[in-house]
């Protein structure tokens, strides 16, 4: 360990020692008796921690939201509060913060939940989902990498989808079905009969209607419990940052280079991951661009300039096999779910190619361009 690391560890240790002397502490047995007399226990651990168990009746307020949310849960400043984390350090800091806010009777559970469980006191697994949600997402709950905490994370997530066309259709359907709780969908086009060969969000009876209107009807019918926000407009340099801000992942379902560059640059400014997809005739490709955290390649590193029109015809000119957007859009949805859940290895700085006629996939490693005008200011890995 470096001298700087040792100094920081010593500084933290001294700070925690002062907190332990300043903040009143209670043992698990004392805490149990206080709870029986009306005290409130607040578990400030992260949701992935409390999924393994907590004290029955505990308020679950994650540390990062404690000061903001405590007032709506416990408005009485004289209420007896017991703060609990895993081992007692984070809850000591939290207890001190609440005392600074004016809560007069705040205690720290010495040893945290680990001590409570070791003592053999009652514990329970909190239910993060209601019965309807547990029924809907039971196949997710059976997956160890997702479970109830992961499903709750999806329900709290926000995804921005550009385009309700060939790629946006399957992506939006599967993200809605998976329980992504907040989906924003932008498109300024109307449904045409020629769309229906591949754009499965839409139906023949809605030809001539806005794609956003058609998409909202279909997605709400699939999962009425999630929030669908539609924007019938074009994404522009003037509105991109405002519209994308506050989302967790941006999914590119566009079909033109200007929009792709616009999304890339906005995502870099906002620090958001961009899930890219493209299709033509019998081939498609998928990638994830997130240079803000990975220091890896962005979309402009892959395509510094738009190719000539004759080298990159659009689907209207060259055609596309109807199932191709389904394959690629579903892969985009898969990458989005991996990013939201923090599982697996997303296709960051890797381009996945699919050739339908050959029935083959191959992956190309993308290298950051040191002269890229969009991401060269970001640190690159050695």
Higher pLDDT, 1 or 170: 170
pLDDT reported for residue 225: 92
Edge-to-edge strands, sheet with 249-252: 227-231, 182-186, 158-162, 249-252, 274-280, 283-289, 350-355, 360-365
pLDDT reported for residue 309: 63
Contact (Cβ atoms closer than 8 angstroms) between residue 108 and residue 92: yes
pLDDT reported for residue 6: 65
Provide the angle, in degrees to the nearest 10, between the axes of the packed helices 211-222 and 168-178: 30
Asked whether the predicted pLDDT for residue 181 surpasses 60, the reply is: yes
Q: Where does the pLDDT of residue 14 fall: very low under 50, low under 70, confident under 90, or very high at 90 and above?
A: confident
185: enclosing H helix or E strand: strand 182-186
- For the segment 197-215, the average pLDDT, to the nearest whole number, is 95
pLDDT reported for residue 30: 97
Higher pLDDT, 112 or 69: 112
pLDDT reported for residue 381: 46
Neighbours of 197 (CB within 10 A): 14
pTM listed for this prediction? 0.70
Asked whether the predicted pLDDT for residue 102 surpasses 70, the reply is: yes
Helix (H, G, I), strand (E, B) or coil at 296: coil
Q: Where does the pLDDT of residue 187 fall: very low under 50, low under 70, confident under 90, or very high at 90 and above?
A: very high
Q: What are the catalytic residues? A: 315
Asked whether the predicted pLDDT for residue 9 surpasses 70, the reply is: no
| pLDDT per residue as tens digits for the range 344-376 | 999 998 999 999 999 999 999 999 999 999 998
pLDDT reported for residue 312: 65
pLDDT reported for residue 49: 84
Token pair, residue 51, equals 């999924």
Token pair, residue 182, equals 């907040």
Asked whether the predicted pLDDT for residue 124 surpasses 90, the reply is: no
pLDDT reported for residue 196: 94
116-120, 255-259, 306-310: least confident range: 306-310
Angle (CA) 284-286-289 rounded to 5° is 150
* Domains annotated on the chain, with CATH: 3-118 (3.40.250.10), 157-365 (3.40.50.720)
Token pair, residue 228, equals 């669908």
pLDDT reported for residue 379: 58
pLDDT reported for residue 382: 46
42-56, 166-180, 279-293, 344-358: least confident range: 42-56
Beta-bridge partner residues of 262: none
Average pLDDT, the chain: 91
Q: Is 60 exposed, middle or buried (0-12, 13-18, 19+ CB in 10 A)?
A: middle
Asked whether the predicted pLDDT for residue 10 surpasses 50, the reply is: yes
Distances (CA, A) of 31 to 51, 115, 188, 291: 21, 11, 58, 47
| pLDDT per residue as tens digits for the range 35-77 | 999 999 999 998 778 877 899 989 989 898 899 889 988 999 9
The structure tokens 């206080």 sit at: 34
Asked whether the predicted pLDDT for residue 21 surpasses 90, the reply is: no
Asked whether the predicted pLDDT for residue 97 surpasses 60, the reply is: yes
Asked whether the predicted pLDDT for residue 1 surpasses 60, the reply is: no
């Amino acid at each position: 360990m470096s001298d700087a690391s040792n100094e920081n560890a010593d500084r933290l240790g001294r700070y925690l020692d002062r907190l332990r002397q300043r903040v009143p502490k209670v043992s698990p047995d004392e805490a149990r008796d206080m709870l029986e007399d009306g005290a409130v226990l607040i578990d400030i651990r992260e949701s992935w921690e409390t999924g393994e168990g907590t004290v029955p009746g505990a308020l679950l307020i994650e540390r990062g939201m404690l000061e903001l949310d405590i007032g709506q849960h416990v408005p009485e400043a004289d209420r007896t509060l017991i703060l609990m984390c895993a081992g007692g350090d984070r809850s000591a800091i939290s207890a001190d913060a609440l005392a600074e806010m004016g809560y007069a009777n705040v205690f720290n559970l010495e040893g945290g939940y680990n001590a409570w469980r070791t003592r053999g006191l009652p514990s329970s697994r909190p239910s993060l989902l209601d019965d309807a949600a547990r029924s809907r997402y039971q196949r997710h709950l059976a997956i160890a990498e997702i479970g109830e905490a992961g499903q709750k994370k999806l329900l709290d997530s926000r995804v921005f989808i550009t385009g309700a066309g060939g790629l946006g259709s399957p992506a939006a359907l599967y993200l809605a079905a998976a329980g992504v709780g907040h989906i924003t969908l932008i498109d300024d086009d109307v449904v045409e009969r020629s769309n229906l060969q591949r754009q499965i969000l839409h139906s023949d009876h809605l030809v001539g209607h806005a794609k956003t209107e058609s998409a909202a009807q279909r997605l709400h019918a699939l999962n009425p419990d999630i929030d669908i926000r539609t924007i019938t407009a074009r994404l522009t340099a003037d509105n991109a940052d405002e519209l994308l801000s506050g989302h967790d992942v941006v999914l590119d379902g566009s079909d033109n280079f200007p929009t792709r560059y616009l999304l890339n640059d906005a995502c870099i400014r906002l620090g958001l991951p961009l899930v890219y997809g493209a299709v033509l005739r019998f081939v498609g490709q998928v990638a994830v661009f997130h240079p803000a955290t990975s220091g890896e390649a962005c979309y402009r590193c892959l395509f510094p300039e738009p190719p000539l029109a004759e080298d990159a015809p659009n689907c209207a000119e060259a055609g596309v096999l109807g199932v191709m957007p389904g394959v690629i859009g579903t892969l985009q949805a898969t990458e989005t779910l991996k990013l939201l859940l923090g599982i697996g290895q997303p296709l960051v700085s890797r381009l996945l190619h699919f050739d339908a006629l050959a029935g083959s996939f191959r992956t190309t490693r993308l290298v950051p361009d040191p002269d890229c005008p969009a991401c060269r200011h970001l640190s690159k890995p050695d």
